[in-house]
């Protein structure tokens, strides 16, 4: 079975540019999570969706960050305008929320570098 698919795997862009990260969750999963990982701050939950609805976006750092989930098989995380401090690895994860013993399954991440 296909796992969580993220694209692109790597993104290098100049500050001020718009960045869009994409995620396809595992089919049948109804919860989707966006994380950011840096050496300094570790793994941070940015936002999560349940049944395509944003449930908790308290981890989104600023208004420059936005996330959407237009349908059950696709989500985007957008940064506009981007800044060098946004450089990090961004992970998407999905799970089935019906039972608490269900783990989250992670994609391989997008390594973002803002110059």
Partner 1 sequence: GNSVTQMEGPVTLSEEAFLTINCTYTATGYPSLFWYVQYPGEGLQLLLKATKADDKGSNKGFEATYRKETTSFHLEKGSVQVSDSAVYFCALRGGSNYKLTFGKGTLLTVNP
What are phi and psi for residue 84, nearest 5 degrees? -55, -35
Q: How far is the CB of 56 from partner 1 (least distance, A)?
A: 7
Residue nearer to partner 1 on the CB measure, 15 or 43: 43
Residue nearer to partner 1 on the CB measure, 19 or 23: 23
Q: How far is the CB of 11 from partner 1 (least distance, A)?
A: 15
Query: Would you mind telling me the total number of residues written for the chain in this entry?
Result: 115
Residue nearer to partner 1 on the CB measure, 66 or 104: 104
SS3 content of the chain, % helix, strand, coil (to 5): 5, 55, 45
Give yes or no for a cis peptide into 20 (omega within 30° of 0). no
Q: How far is the CB of 34 from partner 1 (least distance, A)?
A: 12
d(CA 31, CA 51): 6
d(CA 67, CA 83): 17
Q: How far is the CB of 16 from partner 1 (least distance, A)?
A: 28
Binding site for partner 1 (CB under 8 A): 4, 31, 33, 42-43, 45, 48, 50, 55-56, 91, 93, 95, 97, 100-101, 103-109
């Amino acid at each position: 079975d296909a796992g969580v698919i993220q694209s692109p795997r790597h993104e290098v862009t100049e500050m001020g540019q718009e960045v869009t990260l994409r995620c396809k969750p595992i089919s049948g999963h109804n919860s989707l999570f966006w994380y950011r990982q840096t050496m300094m701050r570790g793994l941070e939950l940015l936002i999560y969706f349940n049944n395509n609805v944003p449930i908790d976006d308290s981890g989104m750092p600023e208004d420059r960050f936005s996330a959407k989930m237009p349908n059950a098989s696709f989500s985007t995380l957008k940064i506009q305008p981007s800044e060098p401090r946004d450089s990090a690895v961004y992970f998407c994860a999905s799970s089935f929320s019906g039972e608490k013993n269900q783990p989250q399954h992670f994609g391989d991440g997008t390594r973002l570098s803002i110059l």
